[in-house]
Amino acid sequence: MTTRDETGGVGSHGPLPPLPEDWQRCLAVAAHPDDIEYGAASAVARWTAQGKQVTYLLATRGEAGIDGLHPTEAGPLREAEERAGAREVGVDTVEFLDHRDGVVEYGYALRRDIVRAMRRYRPEVVVTGAFTVRMIAGVTNQADHRVVGLAALDAARDAGNRWIFPELADEGLEPWGGVRLVCMAGPEHPTHAVDVTGEPLERGIASLSAHVEYTRGLGEQSFEPRPFLTWAARMGGPALGVEAAVLFDVHHLAFEGKPPWDE
């Protein structure tokens, strides 16, 4: 059981299981540049160091994210920062879907775009953000985060059904039903953890640090990546019995192993 402690962080009264790592390909789906970098990128660094392939898919270019910069300028800048941050954790492929930042809509277009990417990259694991109203430590989640997280979860199942978005077959994209796990980062109620002690955390910090202009644009709400990510990872560590961990709410799309009614 994971609870909020007196500091407003995340404490644990019992261990969480480690997130399974018997897979090779992951697609990380997020609403904005920098979303993955707020914790999940440290797990990505661990996985790419193991030789796993991780691809980033961003619903928007984050063009509405800097108050003092017009979207036509902010969008390309934030795209460049996202690509730089991805390289810090071993990710070479970053794709943007060009949905409008701040008003991403759940529906046919978004789900189809994510399914298209899943059929192209054929992930076994999908990482995305929590779609709950509350996130880790009780922080209220943003609208775009909720919409994209839920769409990614639904798309993971849609991707394997040839009769949903059948037009994708005309693009040469056959159904992909190989997604085993959808892992929600920043959840209010985590179920699994990833050990990011040492080098993975350092690379995660470097990844968020690449978002220089965005962080500066936050003004009084800005903070330094190192103390924030170190604090968050150390708050998660006890859940796995390690120094630093990233927590996820893991969704299984099918029973793994023997179904419970056959036991």
- Domain membership of residue 2 (yes or no) is no
- Domain membership of residue 10 (yes or no) is no
E strands along 197-255, which residues? 245-252
- Domain membership of residue 258 (yes or no) is no
Going by C-beta distance under 8 Å and a sequence separation of 6 or more, which residues neighbour residue 183?
19, 125, 126, 127, 128, 192, 248, 249, 250, 251
pLDDT value of residue 2 = 36
- Domain membership of residue 210 (yes or no) is yes
Q: pLDDT of the chain along its 263 residues, tens only?
A: 333 333 334 444 359 999 999 999 999 999 999 999 999 999 999 999 999 999 999 999 999 988 889 999 999 999 999 999 999 999 999 999 999 999 999 999 999 999 999 999 999 999 999 999 988 878 889 999 999 999 999 999 999 999 999 999 999 999 999 999 999 999 999 999 999 999 999 999 999 999 988 787 666 666 789 999 999 999 999 999 999 999 999 999 877 767 667 76
Residues 121 and 29: their CA atoms lie apart, in Å, by: 12
Residues 117 and 25: their CA atoms lie apart, in Å, by: 13
E strands along the chain, which residues? 2-4, 10-12, 25-30, 53-58, 94-96, 125-129, 181-185, 192-195, 245-252
* Closest by Cα among 52, 55, 57, 54 to 29: 57
Residue with tokens 């892992």: 183
Q: What is the CATH number of the domain that holds 38?
A: 3.40.50.10320
State the amino acid at position 116 in one-letter form.
R
Query: In the structure encoding, which two tokens stand for residue 91, read together?
Result: 């990710």
Instruction: Say how many domains are in the chain.
Output: 1
18 DSSP β-pair partners: 193
- Domain membership of residue 4 (yes or no) is no
10 DSSP β-pair partners: 4
Residue with tokens 């644009």: 217
- Domain membership of residue 154 (yes or no) is yes
Length of the chain, please? 263
**pTM for the whole thing?**
0.91
6 sits in which H/E element: none
- Domain membership of residue 263 (yes or no) is no
* Closest by Cα among 187, 183, 192, 190 to 135: 187
- Domain membership of residue 170 (yes or no) is yes
Residues 56 and 81: their CA atoms lie apart, in Å, by: 13
Q: Is 163 helix (H, G, I), strand (E, B) or coil?
A: coil
pLDDT value of residue 99 = 98
Structural domain harbouring 84:
21-252
Residues 236 and 233: their CA atoms lie apart, in Å, by: 5
Residues 48 and 23: their CA atoms lie apart, in Å, by: 12
* Closest by Cα among 156, 151, 152 to 175: 156
